[in-house]
């Protein structure tokens, strides 16, 4: 069943993009992937993205810079950072800059990836309820 | 201690809410007044009967329903309507001022709400990195009133604030008639339309 939640995945590894796309589309998310961070940010300027999964280490643009640019485009987008070489400092820096969660690569348990994305979705649904009650929607 | 008429007239929230509603619009049915003031039908009926007894509220049968109006011949009609109109005017002034501030100094704010916590006016904004103190000072400078400013940070949208706001919303829902939307940008409406 389609959830009407748009997910953007940014990673320079095509294999990661295709496996995550398949996984999340099967769970009903609308998924867009991009291996070029600059193009992904441009995409976000014209399209609604509820949840973004971003690789923290990419050749052209650092994941933390992408995170900050995305938050500047839409501060409501929920961000999940991904990394194979996550140091504690990088994880803390990402969380301090507005990342909502962190995923460690390689993904040995794909259900864990789904549960992290679903957590972000649940948070948005909770806030949707709060804002409805406040009359903002 | 001698109790003067206002002590009786304004002696409960139900009575105050009924008068406020009738100041703004006449000819409401009892049921409509109960809905608008979020008061249970029994308390609403009791308060209406009391106000009729004082002569400040008049009841008129229209078809099968009763309609309620303020009695403009009552000696407290003028001061009471003035009091509630001034309350409304003040709130509108604060809202207008907050909107102007957001427009000029915090245009990325996504939404704003005005509510009341006991006798304080609370402005809540949905934003990231909002100049809380500046808004408070701006409103004080322009209106002479101190307000409480609260921010729901769009970056964190954290669990704690969900709980905090859920509790406050529960409180606000009981006072629905006096919660007002200050502003809501299309971006927030579009984002949460899933």
Q: What is the interface pTM, i.e. ipTM, of the complex?
A: 0.87
Best of A5, A7, A72, A134 to substitute, by most chain B Cβ atoms within 10 angstroms, is: A134
Q: Return the CATH number of A6-134, one of 3.40.47.10, 1.10.1040.10, 3.40.50.300, 3.40.50.2300.
A: 3.40.50.2300
Rounded CA separation A32/A52 (Å): 10
Which residues of B fall within a CB distance of 8 Å from A134? 111, 113, 124, 165, 169, 172, 179, 181
Chain-centroid distance of CA A15 in Å reads 17
* Burial (Cβ within 10 Å: 0-12, 13-18, ≥19) of residue A104: middle
B75-92, pLDDT tens digit by residue? 999 999 999 999 888 888
- Note the pLDDT of residue A32: 97
Q: E strands within chain A?
A: 6-10, 30-34, 51-55, 78-83, 101-104
Give the chain B residue nearest A74 (alpha carbons). Answer: B187
Chain A nearest-CA distance from B125, in A, is 11
Q: Which residue has the tokens 């006449």?
A: B26
pTM beyond 0.80: the answer is no
B113-138, pLDDT tens digit by residue? 787 766 788 888 888 888 999 999 99
- A96, A99, A107, B79 from A91: Cα distances, Å: 9, 9, 17, 62
Q: What percent of chain B has pLDDT over 70?
A: 84
Domains detected in chain B:
5-75 (1.10.10.10), 88-191 (3.30.460)
> Is omega for the bond preceding B12 within 30 degrees of 0, making it cis?
no
Question: What dihedral angle (degrees, nearest 10) is formed by the CA atoms of B7, B94, B114, B122?
Answer: -70
Rounded CA separation B28/B59 (Å): 10
Rounded CA separation A37/A39 (Å): 5
Chain B nearest-CA distance from A19, in A, is 25
Which residues of B fall within a CB distance of 8 Å from A123? 157, 159, 162
Contact predicate A43/A18, CB 8 Å: no
């Amino acid at each position: 069943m389609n959830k009407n939640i748009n997910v953007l995945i940014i990673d320079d590894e095509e294999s990661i993009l295709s496996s995550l796309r398949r996984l999340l589309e099967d769970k009903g998310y609308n998924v867009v992937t991009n291996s070029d961070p600059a193009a992904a940010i441009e995409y976000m300027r014209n399209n609604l993205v509820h949840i973004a999964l971003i690789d923290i280490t990419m050749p052209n643009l650092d994941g933390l810079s992408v995170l900050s640019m995305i938050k500047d485009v839409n501060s409501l987008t929920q961000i999940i950072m991904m990394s194979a070489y996550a140091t504690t400092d990088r994880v803390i820096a990402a969380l301090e800059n507005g990342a909502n969660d962190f995923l460690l690569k390689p993904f040995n348990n794909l259900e864990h990836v789904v549960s992290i994305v679903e957590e972000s979705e649940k948070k948005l649904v909770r806030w949707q309820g709060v804002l409805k009650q406040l009359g903002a929607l | 201690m001698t109790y003067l008429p206002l002590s009786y007239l304004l002696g409960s929230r139900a009575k105050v809410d009924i008068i406020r509603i009738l100041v703004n619009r006449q000819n409401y049915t009892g049921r409509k007044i109960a809905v608008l003031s979020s008061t249970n039908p029994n308390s609403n009926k009791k308060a209406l009967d009391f106000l009729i007894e004082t002569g400040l509220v008049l009841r008129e049968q229209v078809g099968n329903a009763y309609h309620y109006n303020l009695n403009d011949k009552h000696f407290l009609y003028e001061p009471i309507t003035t009091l509630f109109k001034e309350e409304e005017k003040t709130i509108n002034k604060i809202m207008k001022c907050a909107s102007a501030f957001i427009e000029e100094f915090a245009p990325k704010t996504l939404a704003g709400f005005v509510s009341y916590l006991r006798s304080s006016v609370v402005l809540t904004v949905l934003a990231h990195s909002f100049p809380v103190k500046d808004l408070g000072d701006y409103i004080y400078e322009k209106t002479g009133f101190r307000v409480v400013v609260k921010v729901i940070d769009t970056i964190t949208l954290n669990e704690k604030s969900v709980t905090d706001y859920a509790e406050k919303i529960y409180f606000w829902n009981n006072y629905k008639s006096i919660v007002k939307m200050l502003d809501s940008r299309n971006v927030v409406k579009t984002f949460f339309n899933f």
